[in-house]
Amino acid sequence: MKKIISIVLACACALAFFGCGPKKPVLHVYMWSDYISPESVECFEKEFNCKVIIDTFDSNEMMYAKIKAGGSGYDLIQPSSYMAKIMNDQKMLLPLDKSKIPNQKYIDKDFLKNNALDKNMDYSMPYMVCYAVVAYDADKIKNLPDTWNVFSNPEFKKRSTVLNDIRELIGIALKVNGFSFNSTNEAELQKAKETILKWRENVAKFDNEGYKTGIATGEYVLVHGYSGDLAQVLLEKPNLKLMFPKEGLSISCDDWAIPADAKNADLAHAFMNYMAEPEIAVQNMEFSQYDAVNTEARKLMPEELRNAPAMNIPQEVLNKSEVIMDLGADNEKYNKIWDEIKM
């Protein structure tokens, strides 16, 4: 018996030695898609001798539900700022250890002061700023009016899409009626709902990811989408153009945050710090076509990126644009309208 046990033990040791070796730490990241250059992740893995596993989501609500259910296994997540605030209020996030993120110093101070919800980066750190805009096929559409109301134009019946994103879609419907992106007024929200119901008759679908391929292949001629994602498609398709509705855009920042039950918070801090290294941040800006609000990275931007349409939104449109805010108890009003629209 003794002999058998020692043979089994010897085999197990041999397996550990030859088969697996010492295990590398693993960082589990849950983030938006098409948002990070694979090279930057590979460099991080080499430098920190670890493995990074990335899963993606296509809406804040999907991510929230997964983390809220518990046991997600994620060490690092990427909520938009209004969602990070909701999660922090619900004790779903760890406070950030600033001693482990010295690169917070590169994040644009004006942006933090004017547009961030977590101005001291206590529980979240900006990754990229996003606007929602319109892209259209300029070969097929001449003289597109610069308004969100293009989605009710029967000329584009079933050839356009709007975002399947509760705050983005209700927000632009509020805006086109002359109200704030963050309105909590019942009558204004009802007006927005009526506008969306009209759009619903006209658009092909509410969509958060497929619109990129759809506009690239000519299936759609007009889409509502996230600025950098559309800019990525424009790089391949010169017939496409961006339109910035005169009523104003949404401004949202996608932040890094650490779930309260993260197993590898140290590596999560290291990752968010690494992605804010100016050389790495500019690499991700080129890949995603979004602005990392990183003052040093901006200085390294190549001319092409500096002149890209998503980086040059007209000032008069920006002046009318609004940050998507957390509305506290009034978030429920949006959920109710969304459910009614989806019925």
Q: Which residues bind ligand N2P (CB under 6 A)?
A: 32-35, 80, 130, 226, 229, 252, 254
34 vs 146, which CB is nearer to ligand N2P? 34
Smallest gap from Cβ 92 to ligand N2P, in A, equals: 19
Rounded least distance, CB 29 to ligand N2P, Å? 14
* Pick 33 or 153: Cβ nearer ligand N2P: 33
- Cα distances (Å, whole numbers) of residue 174 to 86, 96, 194: 22, 35, 10
| Nearest residue to the partner ligand N2P, using Cβ | 32
CA-angle at 284, arms to 210 and 278, nearest 5°: 160
Output 164 or 252, the one with its CB closest to ligand N2P: 252
Q: Which is nearer to ligand N2P, 162 or 265 (CB)?
A: 162
Using the minimum distance from each CB to ligand N2P, give the nearer residue, 182 or 202: 182
In angstroms, give the least distance from the CB of 335 to ligand N2P.
19
Cα→Cα distances 87→30, 40, 93, 130, Å: 15, 27, 6, 20
Token readout for 313 is: 């939104």
Q: How far is the CB of 33 from ligand N2P (least distance, A)?
A: 5
Q: How far apart are CA 194 and CA 217, in angstroms?
A: 31
CB of 257 within 8 A of CB of 123? yes
Q: How far is the CB of 212 from ligand N2P (least distance, A)?
A: 9
In sequence order, what are the residues at sequence separation of 6 or more whose Cβ sits closer than 8 angstroms to the Cβ of residue 232? 34, 212, 288, 289
Pairwise CA distance, residues 30 & 247, whole Å:
33
